[in-house]
Amino acid sequence: MKTGHKRWRMGLVFLALTAFLCGCGVRETLSSGKKGEKEYQKAETMVIVTTERLRYEEVYSENVWNAAVDNRGTTFETVLLSQIHDFLRELKLMSMMAEEEKITLTSREKEKVKEAAGEYLSALGEESAEEFGLTERDMENLYTDYWVSEKLVDQITEGMNLEVSDSEAKVITVSQIELSDEAKAGEVLSKLSEEGADFSSIAKEYSEDPEIKKQIYYGLKGKEYEEAVFSLAAGEISGILEDSGKYYILKCVSDYDESATRIHKEQMMRQRKNEAFYSTYQAFKADHVLTGDEELWGSLSITGSPRVNADFFDIFEKICEEQES
């Protein structure tokens, strides 16, 4: 059985535990508690920073880093760097908690960790490893911390009822017209009732939201909107629905999107698992201090890091999780 390492993967959606704990803003340095330990140093930090640079530039190109994410001009690089810092803090704390819980790797898992560390360093290259100050022992320790942290989540949530029903996770696909004026919405609904009216064409002409096709699940909108939408059969057109000052007319494309429902169900289960784990983890976190390297994080940048072909997470998945497939 896979432990689901993807909850730890960085990403724009950022569904990892880090996102649940932190959101996407800059967090304050942990500063309360009884037991102190240092955060990860440059070597381990650069492993994650360069991994994320590799992943994002493969998909979005190097232009992604200067993209503004808010009206204050905050760049995507700034936000992701903060998320990386959060991720590494949480990983360190969780590995400490795993140690207290006496969670360890088996002999077979330790062999896999050695193999993963070797493959990572081979892909990274000697020059970059030397620049990072990264040793084979550092990599083995980082992969070990990552793995025992996953085991910690699984152990603490074992036996909890985290199941999500298909009805709770249900996703439907609709074509949607969004308008700000109720009278205009009435005019559009009249056009849709005319013989031969094409919903897609009318939606493209009148909808204030250019994204016509939508996947809808519970929790996105208000109760009245959801009750009306989820009662539609495939091909059926709704009346005018109001929600948060906007007016909607929808056509149900699929009243049960099986693939999207399965994905949403997995996301909901991960979130429930994270929430269940956090209720226990927060007490440990409040009692432990991490000391950060302000000079390191003050000078660090993603675009200033070297471009490498070593992906920490992909190597973990390929080598360490293959035994559980």
Task: Give tens-digit pLDDT for 76-121.
Answer: 999 999 999 999 999 999 999 999 999 999 999 999 999 999 999 9
What is the distance between the alpha carbons of residues 221 and 224, in angstroms, rounded to a whole number? 8
Domain boundaries, the chain: 5-162+267-324, 171-255
CB atoms within 10 A of CB 93: 21
Strand partners, 241: 248
> 218 and 264 in contact (C-beta within 8 Å)?
no
Cα–Cα–Cα angle for 151, 123, 98, rounded to 5 degrees:
15
The set of residues, in sequence order, having a beta carbon less than 8 Å from that of 157 and lying 6+ positions away, is 273, 276, 277
**CA separation (Å) from 318 to 134, 172, 184, 311?**
21, 34, 55, 11
What is the distance between the alpha carbons of residues 49 and 216, in angstroms, rounded to a whole number? 35
Task: Give how far the C-alpha of residue 16 lies from the chain's centroid of Cα atoms, to the nearest Å.
Answer: 5
Residues listed for the chain? 325
**Residue 34 pLDDT:** 52
Structure token digits, residue 241 = 């629905």
Q: Which residues of 10-49 are buried (b: 16+ CB within 10 A; e: fewer)?
A: beeebbbbbbbbbebeeeeebeeeeeeeebbebbbbbbbb
DSSP E strands in 218-313: the ranges are 241-243, 246-254, 288-291
The set of residues, in sequence order, having a beta carbon less than 8 Å from that of 88 and lying 6+ positions away, is 39, 40, 44, 45, 48
pLDDT in tens, 199-228: 999 999 999 999 999 999 999 999 999 999
| Enclosing H/E stretch for 87 | helix 76-100
Which has the minimum average pLDDT: 23-27, 185-189, 273-277, 319-323? 23-27
What mean pLDDT is predicted for residues 8-22? 36
- Asked if pLDDT for residue 32 goes beyond 60, the answer is no
Within the chain, what is the greatest distance between any pair of CA atoms? 73
**Residue 13 pLDDT:** 28
**Residue 269 pLDDT:** 85
CATH 1.10.1740.10 applies to domain 171-255: no
256 phi and psi, to 5 degrees?
-160, 105
What mean pLDDT is predicted for residues 164-182? 94
What's the alpha-carbon Rg for the chain, to the nearest Å? 24
Coil, helix or strand for 72? coil
**Residue 325 pLDDT:** 45
Q: How confident is the model at residue 36 (pLDDT cuts 50, 70, 90)?
A: low
Locate tokens 């991994």: which residue? 51
